[in-house]
Amino acid sequence: MDAALDRRAAVNALLRDRGELLVVSGLGSSSYDVFAAGDHPANFYLWGAMGGAAMIGLGLALAQPSRPVAVITGDGEQLMGLGSLATIAAKKPKNLAIIVLDNAHFGETGMQQSHSGLGANLELIATGAGFPSVSTIADQAALDAFRPKLHDLAGPHFARVGISTEHVDRALPARDGVYLKTRFRRHLGYPVS
Amino acid sequence: MTVSDPPSPAPDWPLAIYQALKAADVRQLCYVPDAGHSRLIRLAHDDPAIATTVLTTEEEGVALSAGAWLGGQRAVLLMQSSGVGNCVNMLSLLSSCRFPFLSFVTMRGEWAEFNPWQVAMGKATQAAFEIMGVTVFRLERPEDAGEMAAAAARLAYDSDQPIAVLIAQRMIGAKKWTESR
C-alpha cells in the first residue's frame, strides 16, 4: 500500500522555488492546492473543462518551449482525458510534466472510488502511452527527488503522487476565466488587446 | 482565352487555407484526421514553423488551442463533423475565458452520403457549435476558401471569438466507396 502524502504539503513542496515554472491546475481540489501553495500570475486554475488540463499544458508547453510547464491535476480529471497521455507522449514536449494527485477517489463529488482505486495503474497507462519518464511518488523523499525534474527540460515527465483522502479546507482561487487568462498572458509579456 | 485552352483547374482550396493560416501567424495545428483534410495536414507537417499535434479525440484540440493562446501562440483544429459532438463540454472553456478558437470541419452526412451513421451528427454539427456560442461559417465554393479562412482567423484571433468553418461535403466530394481502376 502506498504511503499517503498530505496533498497540500505535497503541492507546496513541488512548487517551492518555482522559478520559471508555468502551472495549469485541474478542476477541483488540485486548483485549491495550487492556490493554497501561493497565488501566482503563472498559475492557470481550471474550474471546468474536465479532462482538459493536460492538453492545455501541451498547447502551452509547445508555445513556450524554454519555460517548464507543470500540469497538476487529480486522478479523476486525468482519467477523463486518458487519450491525452498518448497525444502528449507522441509529441514529447521536453518542458512538460503531468503530475497526478491520486487519492483513488472522486473527492469533490462524494468520495466515490475512482478507477485508480479500483485497479487502474496510472503509471502503467502513462508508460504504455509512451512517456519516457514515469515516477511514483509515495513519500517525502520521492517528492524531493522528483522536484528538479519539473525544471530540467528533459521530459515529458509523468508522476503519480499518492495522497491521503483526509479532508482539507477549500482554498478558492479566482473563478473569472478572462482575468486568469489575461493575468497569465501579461506575465509572459503579451499585452491586453 | 481560346476555346482550345484546357478548363482551368479547380482552385487548390487546402493551399488557400494554409496560406491564410500562415498569413495569420498560426503556429500550432492539431487534428483528428479526415481524408478531406489530408492535403492541409500534409502542408502543415512539411512546415517547420507549424507544430502539428495528432489527437486521440477532438475535444483535446479545444484544450490545446486554449493552452497555445495562454502561451502566446495561435492554434487551429482540424476535424470532421462527427467529432464536433465530442467537443461540447470542452467548448465551455472558450466562453468562460474568452479564448480565441478556430476550427475547420469537413462535413459528412449532408451530401451524397453513403453511410447512414454519419447523418445524425452531420445534421447536428452546426447546432452543436452554436449552442456553445461558436460562430459558424459555411464554405461552399473552393474559390472562397482563402478569403473565408482569412476572415475567420481575423475574427478569431483579433476579436477573441470562437469560429468554426464547415467545409461542405458537396465541395470536398463524397467519399468513394468503390475502388475505380
pLDDT digits (tens, 9 = 90+) for B3-25: 566 666 678 999 999 999 999 99
Report how many domains make up chain B. Answer: 1
Does any domain span residue B178? no
Would the CB atoms of B60 and A86 count as touching at under 8 Å?
A: no
pLDDT digits (tens, 9 = 90+) for B119-151: 999 999 999 999 999 999 999 999 999 999 999
Domain span at residue B97 reads 13-172
Does any domain span residue B3? no
In this structure, what is the dihedral angle of CA atoms A75, B89, B104, A54, given to the nearest 10 degrees?
Answer: -20
Whether pLDDT at B2 is above 60:
no
pLDDT of residue A192: 86
Per run of 10 residues, the mean pLDDT along chain A (length 193 residues) is 82 97 97 98 98 98 98 98 98 98 93 96 98 97 97 98 94 97 98 84
Question: What DSSP element (H or E) covers A159?
Answer: strand A157-162
Would the CB atoms of A181 and B64 count as touching at under 8 Å?
A: no
Pick the more confident residue, B173 or B34.
B34
Copy the grid coordinates of residue B20. Answer: 491564410
Does any domain span residue B74? yes
Q: Which of A50, A91, A177 sits opposite B97 (nearest CB)?
A: A177
Pairs across A and B, CB distance < 8 A: 118
Task: Give, in order, the Cα–Cα distances in Å from A126 to each of A88, A120, B76.
Answer: 10, 11, 26
pLDDT band at B178 (very low <50, low <70, confident <90, very high): low
Whether A185 has its CB under 8 Å from any CB of chain B: the answer is: yes
Whether B63 has its CB under 8 Å from any CB of chain A: the answer is: yes
Would the CB atoms of A52 and B99 count as touching at under 8 Å?
A: no
Residues of A in contact with B86 (CB under 8 A): none
- The span from the CA of B9 to the CA of B30, in Å, is 29
Does any domain span residue B177? no
Does any domain span residue B1? no
Does any domain span residue B154? yes
* Shortest alpha-carbon distance between residue B107 and chain A (Å): 24
Mean pLDDT across chain B: 93
pLDDT of residue B173: 81
Domain CATH code at residue B150 = 3.40.50.970
pLDDT of residue A101: 98
Would the CB atoms of B70 and A91 count as touching at under 8 Å?
A: no
Does any domain span residue B180? no
- The span from the CA of A137 to the CA of A100, in Å, is 10
Residues of B in contact with A180 (CB under 8 A): 97
pLDDT of residue B113: 92
pLDDT of residue A1: 44
pLDDT of residue A108: 87
pLDDT digits (tens, 9 = 90+) for B72-123: 999 999 999 999 999 999 999 999 999 999 999 999 999 999 999 999 999 9
Would the CB atoms of B70 and A60 count as touching at under 8 Å?
A: yes
- The span from the CA of A24 to the CA of A59, in Å, is 11
Does any domain span residue B181? no
Helix axes B59-70, A82-91, angle to 10 degrees: 60
* H-assigned helices in B29-164: 38-45, 59-70, 92-97, 119-131, 145-153, 159
Determine the residue among B59, B97, B132, B159 to mutate to test chain A binding: the one whose Cβ has the most chain A Cβ atoms within 10 Å: B97
Whether B27 has its CB under 8 Å from any CB of chain A: the answer is: yes
Half-sphere exposure of B116 (CA within 13 A, CB side): 0
- Class of the A7-187 domain? alpha beta
Strand order in the sheet with B51-54: B51-54, B26-31, B74-80, B101-106, B162-167, B135-139
